[in-house]
Chains A and B, each alone.
Chain A
Amino acid sequence: MSERHLRVAKVSKHFGRQRALVDVSLEFAPGRVATIVGPNGAGKTTLLGILSTLVRPTKGELFLGDQPIGREARHTLGYVGHEPGVYPDLSARQNLRLFASLYGLPDAELRITQMLERVDLADVRGDLPARGYSRGMLQRLALARALLHEPEILLFDEPSSALDPAGVAWLVSELLRERDSGRLVILVTHDLEAAAQVAGHIVVIRRGRVALERSQPSGFTAAEVRALYEEALHDR
């Protein structure tokens, strides 16, 4: 996996007169899960939108290593949101086949089989449309879609919402597995407990600004994450 860092340089985003993000500067390292937390409306989703290249910043730039990144970097990104981002009328394999074609993957069928086995969907009836899947199965398919093209950066937006405890545990283990493989993982969440299980880098966003940022390769305890969150929200 690449050693390139993702750098957010003085990024601002305005929607009309509303300032969603103001002069945000951050650096994310590979092999570590960065968790972005903050209250509703703080600007977390806007920041993730900019990181995913779907939202254009009003000011500032993103860099992957030394290279400024834009839309051409989409093949380096994988995204899992709270919605699975798959077509409900297609089966798991058909969905993955479509995205493999969009990413121009060689040996697509082999890669699809590997991904289906990895997310435990290989034994599902082949022609069953995703519409018939449980919430957990859909989220597993979403992860397979996001990992299919082996992205350098994985973005997660509230991926555990609507998952049962077993689903959350599975997701945490997958996040850690991706971290250990050297991928750069960024997680936006409200769930401080889940954040504590995976984060080596915590960013608290408040009113569009970085209120607090801490990095600790050994990780954080749930109490530490809660304390940092409280400190960020009440300190300024």
Chain B
Amino acid sequence: MTGSFWRYTLLIAGKDLRIEGKSREVLYTMGFSAALVVLVFSFALSNATDPAQGPITAAGVLWAATLFTGTVALARVLDRERENEAIRALLLSPAPRAAIYLGKLIAVSLLMIAVEVVLAVIVGGLFSTGVFAHPVWLALVLLLGTLGFASTGVVFSAALLRSRSRDALLGALLFPIVIPVLLAASRATACMFDPLSPDLEPVAFWVRFLAATDVIYISLGLWVFEPVVSGE
């Protein structure tokens, strides 16, 4: 991949983030959905008395909220390409398809990570869990989990760009594919949050698993994005 390839990638990502910076539409919607999911879980589980379940619950809630808010980000960021058929002008430009894919992946991932950091603080407070006890590991798990989810999500969102029922279909198609990522990310997060067994060996295992999954998903995404957006 040459310098101009990365220039195109950053141009696409920068464009998406600039548009979001102007409208804040995706961030506000993601933030609202995330807060709602966390609050509902917090109320529903407020009578749970087993303190050992706290970290596991917190990890599950964090990733369940990430799943929903990530779907919102994916749908909206790709939807902006559909308005006015801007995607056609973009595809007609000399930007390689792979650069468009990576640019979208970077933009969606950055939006998701921004919301996840706020989400982690809220989850830590509501579930009395020390979420930032291992900040480097948490950052790694959030980054790799988000990349795994978004790498597949960008492909499916692009495939559904011209579908009328894309909002309903996106979740139905995407969630089964990202189950390995979500399982690994939530297991790693639960191990990390657990104050009773601060053994980070399982976290390291799940991080390696996530890294391997991300490599596979991103490679597949780079490979299939072109035929998907060309509609062939």
Q: Show the binding face of A for B, using Cβ within 8 Å.
A: 52-56, 74-75, 77, 79, 81, 83-90, 94, 98-99, 101-104, 129-130, 138, 145
Cβ A86 vs Cβ B84 within 8 A: yes
Nearest first, the 8 closest Cβ-Cβ pairs linking A and B are A85-B89, A83-B85, A102-B93, A89-B19, A74-B94, A84-B84, A87-B86, A85-B85
| 11 A-B residue pairings within 8 Å (CB atoms) | A74-B92, A75-B94, A79-B88, A85-B85, A87-B15, A87-B80, A87-B83, A89-B80, A102-B90, A104-B4, A145-B89
Cβ A129 vs Cβ B22 within 8 A: yes
Cβ A87 vs Cβ B92 within 8 A: no
Cβ A88 vs Cβ B89 within 8 A: no
Given contacts A75-B94, A88-B83, A99-B93, contact A54 B11 (CB under 8 A): no
**Residues of chain A contacted by B22 (CB below 8 angstroms):** 89-90, 129
Cβ B232 vs Cβ A85 within 8 A: no
Taking the nearest CB of chain B, how far is it from the CB of A185, in angstroms? 16
Taking the nearest CB of chain B, how far is it from the CB of A52, in angstroms? 6
B27 within 8 A of A: no
Cβ B88 vs Cβ A101 within 8 A: no
Taking the nearest CB of chain A, how far is it from the CB of B123, in angstroms? 31
Query: How many residue-residue contacts, CB under 8 A, span A and B?
Result: 70
Cβ A102 vs Cβ B94 within 8 A: yes
**Residues of chain B contacted by A75 (CB below 8 angstroms):** 94
Q: Show the binding face of B for A, using Cβ within 8 Å.
A: 4, 8, 11, 15, 18-19, 22-23, 80, 83-86, 88-95, 230, 232
Taking the nearest CB of chain A, how far is it from the CB of B114, in angstroms? 18
Cβ A102 vs Cβ B84 within 8 A: no
**Residues of chain A contacted by B90 (CB below 8 angstroms):** 102
Given contacts A83-B84, A102-B11, A138-B84, contact A54 B92 (CB under 8 A): yes
**Residues of chain B contacted by A145 (CB below 8 angstroms):** 89
User: How far is A152 from B93 in the complex, measured between Cα atoms in Å?
Assistant: 14
Taking the nearest CB of chain A, how far is it from the CB of B230, in angstroms? 7
Cβ B232 vs Cβ A56 within 8 A: yes
User: How far is A87 from B79 in the complex, measured between Cα atoms in Å?
Assistant: 11
The listed residue (A79, A84, A102) touching B8 by CB distance below 8 A is A102
User: How far is A101 from B10 in the complex, measured between Cα atoms in Å?
Assistant: 11
Given A79-B89, A86-B86, A87-B83, output 14 extra A-B contacts at Cβ < 8 Å.
A54-B230, A55-B232, A81-B85, A83-B88, A85-B85, A85-B86, A85-B88, A88-B80, A88-B86, A89-B22, A89-B80, A90-B18, A102-B94, A129-B22
Taking the nearest CB of chain B, how far is it from the CB of A144, in angstroms? 12
Cβ A99 vs Cβ B94 within 8 A: no
**Residues of chain B contacted by A54 (CB below 8 angstroms):** 88, 91-92, 230
**Residues of chain A contacted by B230 (CB below 8 angstroms):** 54-56
Cβ A77 vs Cβ B232 within 8 A: no
Taking the nearest CB of chain A, how far is it from the CB of B226, in angstroms? 10
User: How far is A75 from B92 in the complex, measured between Cα atoms in Å?
Assistant: 8
User: How far is A102 from B18 in the complex, measured between Cα atoms in Å?
Assistant: 16
**Residues of chain A contacted by B89 (CB below 8 angstroms):** 79, 85-86, 99, 145
**Residues of chain B contacted by A101 (CB below 8 angstroms):** 11
Taking the nearest CB of chain B, how far is it from the CB of A92, in angstroms? 13
**Residues of chain A contacted by B91 (CB below 8 angstroms):** 54
The listed residue (B8, B23, B94, B232) touching A89 by CB distance below 8 A is B23
Taking the nearest CB of chain A, how far is it from the CB of B31, in angstroms? 19
**Residues of chain B contacted by A74 (CB below 8 angstroms):** 92-94
Residue of A nearest to B87 (CB): A85
User: How far is A87 from B18 in the complex, measured between Cα atoms in Å?
Assistant: 11
Residue of B nearest to A145 (CB): B89
Residue of A nearest to B19 (CB): A89
Taking the nearest CB of chain A, how far is it from the CB of B79, in angstroms? 11
**Residues of chain A contacted by B95 (CB below 8 angstroms):** 102
User: How far is A179 from B91 in the complex, measured between Cα atoms in Å?
Assistant: 25
Taking the nearest CB of chain A, how far is it from the CB of B47, in angstroms? 45
Cβ B85 vs Cβ A84 within 8 A: yes
**Residues of chain B contacted by A56 (CB below 8 angstroms):** 230, 232
